[in-house]
């Protein structure tokens, strides 16, 4: 009897297995809010349903950048970082504090080996991001650490112009859209409504930027991460934005800037229950049939649709959806 191949092995070549990141990325920079974010992450589930990004760029008062970096390094190295899914937004490459950030994070506090990723903001072009990646790699290796993945913010005209090259850099794991700075870079040509819920999904220049970032990431097997919305007390607005980002714009992840936004983002990125039921039935039947074509509800399915429905199953697992015990054992047990 032949052993049933796992979907990852049967359906994808090694170069097609993109990293699976949590669907929400929560930003915090003030000490109390950073600690609260880590507490929520640790209490929500038995694994990280969202990442936490601690902010060096905007989180420190002027003149207190070294103290902020030391504080963040200590938090990452502490037991509060329960799942090792905490990243850091650095100062922009070329900023006087960029090298200092790396020295603190890969310093004696012990944060380096536990970094989930480093976010590089204000990227000007692919050459600058490549230089930032090289500097991060050198700092990590000098400290005896494996270099963490690099995430980058596309919020300048130059970065958007070279977004395919940004996504192609081997160290890059994810690209995020920086809505606020992108709108500001248009010198008033995009109104303030472009930074609100409806404007950011309807203005042609913003829509173009979002689509180009998502397309570049998917072409290179990287994760596109959607920008924030400022309506942090309006749950319906948060849900609406997250659904549009996921379903209409092709994003696999979204930023949160307030704890109220975390759960609605995770829920909005979760698959529809009916589609999840189909995914369970189709992938299970396909595996039992050694990944040959099958019929389900009067429709034929082969490896192309098997791949789609496997992604549905993965998204369900990443968003903490209830899965039958046999499905979890077969597909998501660490030994599977």
Q: Which residues, other chains included, contact 231 with Cβ-Cβ below 8 Å and sequence gap of 6+?
A: 196, 197, 237, 238, 241
181 is in an annotated binding site: yes
17 is in an annotated binding site: no
Using alpha carbons, select from 46, 47, 52, 57 the residue that is nearest to residue 25: 52
71 is in an annotated binding site: no
Per the annotation, binding residues for Mg(2+) are: 155, 181
Per the annotation, binding residues for substrate are: 89, 155
Per the annotation, binding residues are: 89, 155, 181
């Amino acid at each position: 009897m032949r052993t049933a191949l796992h979907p990852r092995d049967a359906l994808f070549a090694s170069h097609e297995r993109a990293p699976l990141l949590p669907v929400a990325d929560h930003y915090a920079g003030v000490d109390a809010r950073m600690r609260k974010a880590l507490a929520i992450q640790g209490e929500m589930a038995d694994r990280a349903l969202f990442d936490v990004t601690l902010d060096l760029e905007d989180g420190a008062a002027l003149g207190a950048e070294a103290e902020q970096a030391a504080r963040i390094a200590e938090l990452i190295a502490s037991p509060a970082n329960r799942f090792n899914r905490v990243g850091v937004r650095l100062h922009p490459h070329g900023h006087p504090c960029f090298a200092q950030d790396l020295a603190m994070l890969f310093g004696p506090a012990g944060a380096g080996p536990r970094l989930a990723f480093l976010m590089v903001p204000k990227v000007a072009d692919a050459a600058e991001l490549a230089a930032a990646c090289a500097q991060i790699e050198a700092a990590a290796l000098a400290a005896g650490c494996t270099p963490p993945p690099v995430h980058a913010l596309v919020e300048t005209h130059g970065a958007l112009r070279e977004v395919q090259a940004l996504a192609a850099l081997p160290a890059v794991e994810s690209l995020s859209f920086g809505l606020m700075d992108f709108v500001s870079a248009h010198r008033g040509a995009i109104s303030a409504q472009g930074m609100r819920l409806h404007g950011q999904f309807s203005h042609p220049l913003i829509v173009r930027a979002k689509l180009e970032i998502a397309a570049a990431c998917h072409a290179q097997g990287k994760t596109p991460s959607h920008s924030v919305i400022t309506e942090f007390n309006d749950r319906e607005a948060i849900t609406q934005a997250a659904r549009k980002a996921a379903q209409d714009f092709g994003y696999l992840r979204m930023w949160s800037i307030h704890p109220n936004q975390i759960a609605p983002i995770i829920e909005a990125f979760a698959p529809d229950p009916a589609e999840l039921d189909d995914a369970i039935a189709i992938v299970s039947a396909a595996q039992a049939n050694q990944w040959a074509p099958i019929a389900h509800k009067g429709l034929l399915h082969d490896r192309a649709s098997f791949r789609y429905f496997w992604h549905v199953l993965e998204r369900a697992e990443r968003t903490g959806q209830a899965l039958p015990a046999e499905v979890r054992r077969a597909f998501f047990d660490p030994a599977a």
